[in-house]
């Protein structure tokens, strides 16, 4: 009798865990066939880019600790001077397992920037806190800090839907 009760309770917990996982999993979204260069151009056009400059692969490695050659596409525009925080990163994953690595790299970069400007860079902190967006969907990762971050995110969402 006790065994039956235990059996019911454990499978009820298992079912609840399963439901929770399904609810928190964003479902499947097939990898987008959009041309990464087109996606980059759309997002770049919508961003405020006066304080950005294109980064070399070496610079991406230094700032994000990721190797661009491992991704299907990886471009970064980084701050023009040490006093700027505007940047725009677009990545197309070579495979889905890279998502966590990119998420961690972006988190670390944002933390590092906040730490650098905390307590004295009022404008920079405002941009980092209120005008930074990270999105990861359909095989693409997009991160930007710029005054038009929301518009850039919209442009990104729109661009990856186009074949």
CB of 5 to other proteins, least distance (A): 8
Q: 10 Å Cβ neighbour count for 26?
A: 7
Taking the C-alpha atoms of residue 99 and residue 84, their distance in angstroms, rounded to an integer, is: 27
Residue 94 vs 147, nearer CB to other proteins: 94
Q: In this complex, which beta carbon is closest to other proteins, that of residue 103 or of residue 158?
A: 103
Q: Which is nearer to other proteins, 15 or 45 (CB)?
A: 15
Please, which residue, 21 or 122, has the CB nearer to other proteins? 21
Residues 74-110: b if buried by 16+ CB within 10 A, e if exposed: bbbbbbeeeebbbbbbbbbbeeeebeebbeebbeebb
CB of 33 to other proteins, least distance (A): 11
Residue showing tokens 């600790």: 65
Q: What strands lie across the sheet with 52-54, from one edge to the other?
A: 52-54, 73-79, 87-92, 140-145, 132-137
Q: How far is the CB of 118 from other proteins (least distance, A)?
A: 10
Residues at the contact surface with other proteins, assessed by CB under 8 A = 2-3, 6-7, 9-10, 13-14, 16-17, 20-21, 24-31, 58, 61-62, 65, 67, 70, 93, 95-97, 99-101, 103-104, 108, 111-112, 115, 136-139
């Amino acid at each position: 009798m006790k065994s039956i009760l235990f059996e019911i309770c454990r499978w009820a917990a298992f079912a609840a865990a399963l439901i929770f996982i399904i609810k928190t999993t964003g479902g499947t979204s097939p990898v987008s066939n959009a041309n990464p260069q087109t996606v980059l151009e759309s997002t770049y056009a919508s961003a405020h880019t006066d304080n950005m400059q294109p980064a070399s692969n070496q610079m991406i490695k230094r700032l994000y600790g990721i190797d661009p050659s491992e991704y299907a596409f990886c471009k970064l525009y980084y701050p023009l001077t040490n006093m700027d925080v505007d940047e725009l990163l677009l990545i197309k994953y070579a495979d889905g397992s890279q998502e966590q690595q990119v998420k961690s790299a972006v988190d670390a970069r944002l933390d590092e920037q906040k730490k650098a400007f905390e307590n004295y860079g009022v404008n920079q902190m405002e941009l980092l806190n209120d005008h930074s967006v990270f999105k990861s969907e359909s095989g693409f990762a997009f991160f930007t800090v710029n005054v038009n971050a929301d518009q850039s995110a919209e442009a990104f969402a729109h661009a990856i839907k186009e074949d």
